[in-house]
Amino acid sequence: MEFKNSQKLYSKGLKHLVGAVNSPVRAFASVGGNPLFIKKAKGSKITDVDNNTFVDLVLSYGPMILGHRHKKVQKAIDKALKNGYTFGASTKNEIRLAKIVCDAFPAMDKVRFVNSGTEAVLSALRLARAFTGHDKIIKFAGCYHGHSDALLVAAGSGLVTLSIPGSKGVPEGAVKNTLIAEYNNLESVKAHFEAHDDIAGVILEPVAGNMGVVTPKEGFLKELKAYLESKGALLIVDEVMTGFRSKFGGAQELFNVEGDITCLGKVIGGGFPVGAYGARNEIMEMVSPLGGMYQAGTLSGNPIAMAAGISTLTELKKQNPYEKFNAVAEKIEGFLLASAKENGVEMTVNRFGSMINPFFTNVTVTNFEEAQTSDTKRFATFFWEMMHNGVFLPPSQFEAWFLSSALSEKDLEKIKKAIEAGMLAVSKM
């Protein structure tokens, strides 16, 4: 498999783009080599500029849950495009998407659409502060909530991969109200409440996907919510990754927990830039124009993005692929563990619905510290072998692999063979 055209574009791209990418997770910093340039994608597959076709387990880091260019989504977008691109005024489709979202998430009476997950989360923090009158926010080490200043501490995703301790350019003042707790450890949350009396709330990924996949321990979310309620603090559930992916109603439905504020992104835009935050009326009425918390956006509720979101969620609800996702992920887990065993490679596999990833460690991974025991050099070798065998993976140990409902039996067979080749290569290191 050759990557000549990608290499050429990469060299060219370096001149006017930073690292030739527009998001650092797309750089191949932790696996070596150059990033691929993509030409097109359809269904479960993605094709690069050298005409290599891969089974896509990146899916744009989550949004493309139906696979690429599902015909109903494409049709809805084509139709919307004919009416104009953006108006700076409300459209009927915003109401339709809001209803779909609020029906799926009982914790939300009202929703505000924004343009990215980052924007949804930073707005949700502002709202939590406005509602409680408190400034401090607790986040968990290894959870990623976008790149707003206050949350760029102990974050996962590209920050782990690139080993950036937080980020340069974030003033101390911006993170002084951010407290860090350990995922799956309620005591670490309680310790902060004992030390501070001005905590607005706790933000978390209900299933973490940005330190690799890490699931909440039995009872963790429920106990956390009950504890926060007793303290008058809010639970901010960042479902940017898990919303409509773990289940139509997100991880909150699966774990039977209602957050006070919910953040969404990725899947709800069907491949277009959409984020959202929502809550019960009492909280959302704080948001301008009803209340005094300001938040705005020129392109928010963009008509093309709304059409893509509505058609994606409508089709998703109809397909209801969640059981299939579990079964497919279970199979992939089986391939990974069997092949690791056969080749004497230490391995822990974590998965949740359509999110799965292997850690090259024998440690059970329930938090950020444990995730970091994974041998990232092994991952890099494994990654390239998977690529050469036609499976496109996120170029980082600490990103989840995503499944789409377009995956076929044939794709699974390809994934199995690639895993076997990958594990063999790792065993020879």
Ligand X SMILES: *Cc1c(COP(=O)(O)O)cnc(C)c1O
Tell me the catalytic residues.
Answer: 144, 238, 266
Neighbouring C-alpha atoms within 13 Å toward the C-beta of 39: 11
Binder to ligand X among 121, 200, 211, 310 (CB under 6 A)?
A: 121
Out of 29, 57, 240, 276, point to the residue binding ligand X (CB under 6 A). 240
Maximum Cα–Cα distance across the chain: 63
- Site string (133-152) toward ligand X, x via CB under 6 A: -----------xxx------
- Residues in a beta bridge with 201: 137, 234
By beta-carbon proximity to ligand X, the closer residue of 241 and 347 is 241
CB under 8 A, 24+ apart: contacts of 216-222: 216/183, 216/184, 216/255, 217/184, 217/366, 220/184, 220/186, 221/251, 221/255, 221/257, 222/255, 222/256, 222/257
Residues 343-362 that bind ligand X (CB under 6 A): none
**160-187: b (≥16 Cβ within 10 Å) or e:** bbeeeeeeeebeeeebebbbbbbbbbbe
* Rounded Cα distance, 89 and 98, in Å: 16
Binding to ligand X in span 362-381, by CB under 6 A: none
Give me the residue whose beta carbon is nearest to ligand X.
117
Whether residue 289 is preceded by a cis peptide bond, meaning omega within 30 degrees of 0, is yes
Of the pair 144, 220, the CB lying nearest ligand X is at 144
- Total residues at interface with ligand X (CB under 6 A): 15
Q: Which of 259, 295, 262 is nearest to 130 (CA)?
A: 295
Instruction: Measure the CA–CA gap between 280 and 269, rounded to whole angstroms.
Output: 22
> Where are the alpha helices (H) located in 133-285, listed in sequence order?
158-161, 172-175, 186-195, 220-231, 250-255, 281-284
Q: Does 117 bind ligand X (CB under 6 A)?
A: yes
Is 238 near ligand X (CB under 6 A)?
yes
CB closer to ligand X, 247 vs 416: 247
The single residue among 94, 205, 399, 411 that binds ligand X, judged by CB under 6 A, is: 205
Q: Which of 30, 93, 118, 381 binds ligand X (CB under 6 A)?
A: 118
Distance CA 133, CA 313 (A): 35
Per CB under 6 A, the segment of 31-39, 111-119, 302-310, 342-350 that binds ligand X is: 111-119
Q: Please, what is the minimum distance in Å from the beta carbon of residue 22 to ligand X?
A: 11
6 or 210, CB closer to ligand X?
210
Looking only at residues 377 through 406 of this chain, which bind ligand X when binding is defined by CB under 6 A? none
Scanning 46-54, 93-101, 202-210, 305-313 for contacts with ligand X by CB under 6 A, the matching segment is 202-210
Which of 251, 423 has the CB closer to ligand X?
251
Distance CA 63, CA 68 (A): 10
Residues within the interface to ligand X (CB under 6 A): 116-118, 121, 144-146, 205, 209-210, 238, 240-241, 265, 275
